[in-house]
Amino acid sequence: MEKLLKKGAEASLYRTEWFGDEVIRKARILKTFRQLNLDIKLRESRTRREALFLREAKRAGITTPLVYFVDLIKAEIIMQFIHGRSLKEIIESDDEDISLKWCTEVGRYVARLHKVDMIHGDLTTSNFVISHNKLVMMDFGLSFYSQRLEDRAIDIHLLNMVVQSAHNNYAENIMRAVLQGYQEIASKLNSLRLLERIKVVERRGRYKRVE
Amino acid sequence: MKSLETSTGEQEDSRLEITCLGIESTAHTFGVSIISQRGSAKPEILSDIRSIYQPEKGKGIHPREASRHHAKVAATTVAEALKKAKKPIESVDIVSFSQGPGLGPCLRVGAVVARSISAYFHLPLIPVNHAVAHIELAAMLTGTSDPLVLLVSGGHTVITSLTSGRWRVFGETLDITIGQLIDQFGRTAGFSSPFGKTFEEYAKTSQNYIDLPYTIKGNDVSFSGLLTASKRLFHDKKNLEDICFSIQETGFAMLAESVERALVFTEKDELLLVGGVAANNRLQNMLQEVCKIHKAKFYFVPKIFSGDCGAQISWNGLQEFKAGIKLNISDSLVKPSWRLDEVVINWKSF
């Protein structure tokens, strides 16, 4: 009855049932290539964070899958199954104005998280799914609490890097849409400080020219 | 170029032999290599001579001292490369040099030598990006077709793949490189750089893992916290073998995770490991396992060509020349911060 949906980098997703509901079992599998105690520490803490942030993000007005059950020993989460397509697929195949509309929504989501001191930590276009005309944010395994401007800037910087590499033809428009959405939610001052800080983070990268 | 008088048209092209003299001088290595290729046949590395600047124990590369070393050995290294290749300078068709990224003073020595040869013998001058050259030589030697690449060295820690004409970055270090982590720790412990080989030997003799900071941010890694914590362990008089082992296990696990994420995201079915740190067996084994999980083929650059060398510059120079890339001497200023993803790739890589 259980079916492997996706073998991700750190977890496998299985489609299964939970007391009659259609759910996803997200299992962080043991990696034999790294030290066992490091592996256990990483899988446990990421499962814990993910469960916590899936719930806490809802308070900030963000749509996330419902959590049904968490097993820290097995490093597993049972969560709501979300029907839909990833933002990555939509950017690759749909009209640009449709994908840009969703990118603006991404910016709003990120700003709402940041407003309550939450950092997603792994923003990519494959960590958003559009379902029933709603944006769903997921994959909170690297999320953490922080009030530092630096951490917010890195959050956006990482998304920018993914977009530049994976969607290079639309990269500028996508990031413009994301930042526009961000500025709708965050205060003007906070947005400006964030933009400044993103530049600082970028300049620190290897072989980035200081201008 | 020895154009054959008897042949005509396309046939002529396919039999044409081009010989390139390539000069590497981005950091500690001054290297010269001669590579010949007939048509699109497998290129031949005729010589690859290196002279490596050794900083004193506990010290890193001093750019000025390294450049003095390069200037001193330049003429003899070029002569030796020609001699070993059994090619007189007259049979060289093009000259390529590493234009960046790297240490300014070191880059300028290689550039001066390349410009001089180019001007005196009227040979085309070809600029090469050092990072691209690492990848291209490894791709040629291993025969990969469309890999995800992990480039790890003193100057680079980057995960990249060729997408619409550029090496796009899918993950990289947010601060220092894995090579810097290893070398800088080594210098704290009183060793000379590069420390990679000794580091691996020490790590091999321990099984005692000490908890160290593991920092992954999205697809990116950060090693600065790991370096600080490792230095602290050393000052706390912890066993050197255990520290090396723990740095290796932590740092490489971070790299393995980033690679795994990028592999899934880009859906590539090949991984190519290149750069000086690619010579490390533990890193190779970890990545081999990652590839097994995701049914990707794993390749790594042969050990002798993993570090900086002239062959990288010579081979990439040849590729570029065939794609019509040339440089006027007046435009040949070195580029110390020339990022991999700025280079437009218009030659057939694989």
CA B134 to centroid of chain Cα atoms = 4
Q: What is the DSSP letter of A111?
A: H
CB < 8 Å to A148, chain B: none
Domains A3-80 and A85-204 fall in the same CATH topology? no
Q: Are strands A144-145 and A134-137 parallel, antiparallel or unpaired?
A: unpaired
Contact A66, A53 (CB under 8 A): no
Q: What is the pLDDT of residues B226-274, one digit of tens each?
A: 999 999 999 999 999 999 999 999 999 999 999 999 999 899 999 999 9
| Contact status of B170 with chain A (Cβ, < 8 Å) | yes
User: Measuring CA to CA, how many Å separate B133 from each of A138, B70, B81, B129, B300?
Assistant: 38, 20, 19, 6, 15
Asked whether residue B1 is domain-assigned, the answer is: no
Residue B193 pLDDT: 85
- Chain B from 278 to 307: CB within 8 A of any A CB: 285-286, 289-290, 293-294
Mind giving me the DSSP string for A134-180?
A: EEEE---TT-EE---HHHHHHHHHHHHHHHHHHSTTTHHHHHHHHHH
- Chain B from 245 to 284: CB within 8 A of any A CB: 249-250, 253, 256-257, 260-261, 263-266
Asked whether residue B279 is domain-assigned, the answer is: yes
Provide the number of structural domains found in chain B: 2
Q: Nearest-CA residue of chain B relative to A125?
A: B265
Q: Is the pLDDT of residue A204 over 90?
A: no
- CATH number of B114's domain: 3.30.420.40
Q: Which residues of A are catalytic?
A: 122
The ipTM (two decimal places) reads 0.89
Question: For chain B, what is the largest distance between any 2 Cα atoms, rounded to a whole number of angstroms?
Answer: 75
Q: How far apart are CA B285 and CA B280, in angstroms?
A: 9
CB contact under 8 Å between B163 and A122, yes or no, is no
CA torsion, ordered B112, B117, B123, B125, to nearest 10 deg: -20
- What does the domain layout of chain A look like in residue ranges? 3-80, 85-204
CB contact under 8 Å between A207 and B338, yes or no, is yes
Q: What is the pLDDT of residues B69-102, one digit of tens each?
A: 999 999 999 999 999 999 999 999 999 999 999 9
CB < 8 Å to B172, chain A: 161, 205-206
Spell out the alpha helix ranges (H) of chain A. 36-59, 87-93, 96-115, 149-166, 171-185, 188-204
Of A9, A35, A158, the CB nearest to B220: A158
Q: How far apart are CA A203 and CA B174, in angstroms?
A: 10
Residue A205 pLDDT: 78
Which domain does B130 fall in, by range?
9-135+307-342
| Shared domain check, B126 and B26 | yes
Asked whether residue B298 is domain-assigned, the answer is: yes
Asked whether residue B2 is domain-assigned, the answer is: no
* Structure confidence at residue A209 as a pLDDT band (50, 70, 90): low
Q: What is the pLDDT of residues A154-173, one digit of tens each?
A: 999 999 999 998 898 899 99
| Shared domain check, B163 and B283 | yes
Q: What is the pLDDT of residues B140-164, one digit of tens each?
A: 999 998 999 999 999 999 999 998 8
Is residue B336 helix, strand or coil?
Answer: coil
Residue A120 pLDDT: 97
Which of these ranges, A73-82, A111-120, B14-23, has the smallest mean pLDDT? Answer: B14-23
User: Fold for domain A3-80?
Assistant: Phosphorylase Kinase; domain 1 (3.30.200)
| Shared domain check, B154 and B276 | yes
The percentage of chain B sitting over the pLDDT mark of 70, rounded to a whole number, equals: 95
Contact B345, B139 (CB under 8 A): no
Is residue B115 helix, strand or coil?
Answer: helix
- Chain A from 21 to 80: CB within 8 A of any B CB: 31-35, 37-38, 41-42
How many residue pairs from chains A and B have C-beta atoms closer than 8 A? 105
H/E stretch holding B220 = strand B220-221
Q: Is the pLDDT of residue A177 over 70?
A: yes
| Shared domain check, B122 and B155 | no
Residue B12 pLDDT: 47
| Contact status of A209 with chain B (Cβ, < 8 Å) | yes
| Shared domain check, B187 and B292 | yes
Question: Best mutation site among B265, B295, B340 for testing chain A: the one with the most A CBs within 10 Å?
Answer: B265
Residue A206 pLDDT: 76
Residue B14 pLDDT: 60
The percentage of chain A sitting over the pLDDT mark of 70, rounded to a whole number, equals: 98
The percentage of chain B sitting over the pLDDT mark of 90, rounded to a whole number, equals: 89
Q: How far apart are CA A182 and CA A115, in angstroms?
A: 10
Residue A210 pLDDT: 46
| Shared domain check, B81 and B53 | yes
* Structure confidence at residue B109 as a pLDDT band (50, 70, 90): very high
Which residue(s) pair with B271 in the sheet?
B148, B298
Q: What is the pLDDT of residues B162-211, one digit of tens each?
A: 988 999 999 999 999 999 999 999 999 999 888 999 999 999 999 999 99
pTM: 0.92
| Contact status of B338 with chain A (Cβ, < 8 Å) | yes
Residue A114 pLDDT: 97
Among B81, B148, B95, B110, CA closest to B287: B148
Q: How far apart are CA B35 and CA A175, in angstroms?
A: 44
- Chain B from 125 to 164: CB within 8 A of any A CB: 155-158, 163-164
| Shared domain check, B226 and B106 | no
Question: For chain A, what is the largest distance between any 2 Cα atoms, rounded to a whole number of angstroms?
Answer: 59
- Work out the mean pLDDT of chain B and round it to a whole number: 93
Asked whether residue B350 is domain-assigned, the answer is: no
Q: Nearest-CA residue of chain A relative to B282?
A: A33
- Work out the mean pLDDT of chain A and round it to a whole number: 94
Of A126, A169, A207, the CB nearest to B339: A207
Of B174, B265, B289, the CB nearest to A32: B289
Q: Is the pLDDT of residue A36 over 80?
A: yes
CB < 8 Å to A164, chain B: 168-169
Which of these ranges, A106-120, A196-210, B267-281, has the smallest mean pLDDT? Answer: A196-210
| Shared domain check, B156 and B79 | no
Q: How far apart are CA B66 and CA B43, in angstroms?
A: 31
Contact A70, A47 (CB under 8 A): yes
CB < 8 Å to B134, chain A: none
User: Fold for domain A85-204?
Assistant: Transferase(Phosphotransferase); domain 1 (1.10.510)
Query: CA torsion sign, B69 to B73 to B75 to B77?
Result: negative
Question: Best mutation site among A4, A29, A34 for testing chain B: the one with the most B CBs within 10 Å?
Answer: A34
| Shared domain check, B102 and B28 | yes
CA distance B161 to chain A (A): 9
Asked whether residue B94 is domain-assigned, the answer is: yes
Q: What is the pLDDT of residues A116-151, one digit of tens each?
A: 999 999 999 999 999 999 999 999 999 999 999 999
| Shared domain check, B159 and B34 | no
| Shared domain check, B166 and B79 | no
**Mean pLDDT (whole number) for A107-113:** 97
| Shared domain check, B316 and B290 | no
CA B181 to centroid of chain Cα atoms = 17
Q: Is the pLDDT of residue B1 over 90?
A: no
| Contact status of A189 with chain B (Cβ, < 8 Å) | no
